[in-house]
Structure 1
Amino acid sequence: MSTYTDRSTTQTDFRPGVYTGDDAFAEGRTSLGSYRTYPEAQAVVDRLSDEGFEVENLRILGHGITSVEQVTGRMTVGRAALAGAGTGAWLGLFVALLLGLFTPVVAWFSLLIAGLLFGALWGALLGAVAQWATRGRRDFRSAQSLLAQSYEVLVTSNRAAQARRLLAGEPSLAS
């Protein structure tokens, strides 16, 4: 069993051990292992869940968190208006459906079309004005995400032995 104490360098020792880091997220918990990708850590939790382990006792802790913003394209007033029209159309359709509950069947279809068009028009107008108001300070679209250098699966210390047995393929023993 190894003990992790230094997080200033990239983790290369992936053997389970008692986590002794100074953060409150790991207090009273034992490491089941450290993984390079989130899907690997998630697979461990999923496997324990499939075995009937009480997953409320698990935690996935990311180390070396980095914020990544992927620029996906240019944003113009026209594109902002188009995106606003789409959002407004859905909102207008939703409001029209709600109002349609109290409308005679004859006018129902007209109400849906009016809500769709009214919503799209206002959405386009608000989208265009919002983009114009930035005055070119943010003329791009992007998607943000968080990535970690490694992910550690932690378990409450009183459940560590049971979790290790299940991961080793042994039958569960009540602990």
Structure 2
Amino acid sequence: MLTPGAGSGAPGPGGNPLRLEFPQSLAVYDDYAAAQRAVDFLSDRKFPVQQCMIVGTDLKRVERITGRLTTGKVALGGAASGAWLGLFVGLLFVLFTTEGALPILISTLIFGALFGVIWSLVGYAATRGRRDFSSITQVIATRYEVLVEHKVAAQARELLAQLPGSQPNPFA
């Protein structure tokens, strides 16, 4: 939260390290690397960068489709994850028993794989074909704003004006 008077940027009594006291916009960038470059530039000039914050704004969720799901792929994935779980349980059993380790590990691995196949296929059947694909998702920001505490804003603007390729913030 960027509320006025919420803290000094440093953890303190009731303070939150993710808050600035009366934050002001220093600059807005299209990518994180440019915002990071600006703060690094300030740091190189001995500016108190602990009074800065980079805030990603205009968030969007991106989902990358990685492939088509089939019953076979779901079963194979379930078997693999179940086998790992079975192996883990087997290792725990081996720690607390005096019997042979190999039969315990093999049996728990097989039971785990079987359980994983059944569990994943039941889950897949429950979707009734509404999601027959696999994907990965990520939330990303489309803009990055560098904020600075009000008491050092003028100094930060003067320094940042020296950064090659920088443009003044029209909102500052």
| TM-score, normalisation: structure 2 | 0.65
Corresponding residue to 1:76 among 50, 70, 78: 70
Of 66-75 and 151-160, more deviation after overlay is shown by 151-160
- CA shift, 1:137, in A, is 0.8
Of 40-49 and 121-130, more deviation after overlay is shown by 40-49
The letter for the 1-side match of 2:149 is T
The letter for the 2-side match of 1:64 is D
Contact 1:76 1:131 (C-alpha < 8 Å) held by counterparts = no
Q: Distance in 2 between matches of 1:60 and 1:127?
A: 41
Corresponding residue to 1:147 among 129, 136, 140: 140
When residues 129 and 47 of structure 1 are mapped into structure 2, their CA distance, relative to the original with a 3 A threshold, is: farther
Q: Partner of 1:96: helix, strand, or coil? A: helix
Partner of 1:40: 34
- How many residues align? The count is 143
Of 121-130 and 144-153, more deviation after overlay is shown by 144-153
- CA shift, 1:32, in A, is 3.9
Partner of 2:16: none
Q: Distance in 2 between matches of 1:118 and 1:40?
A: 52
Give the gaps of 5 or more residues in structure 1: 1-24, 170-175
Contact 2:21 2:150 (C-alpha < 8 Å) held by counterparts = no
- CA shift, 1:159, in A, is 5.7
Cα RMSD after superposing both structures: 3.3
| TM-score, normalisation: structure 1 | 0.64
Corresponding residue to 1:131 among 124, 128, 136: 124
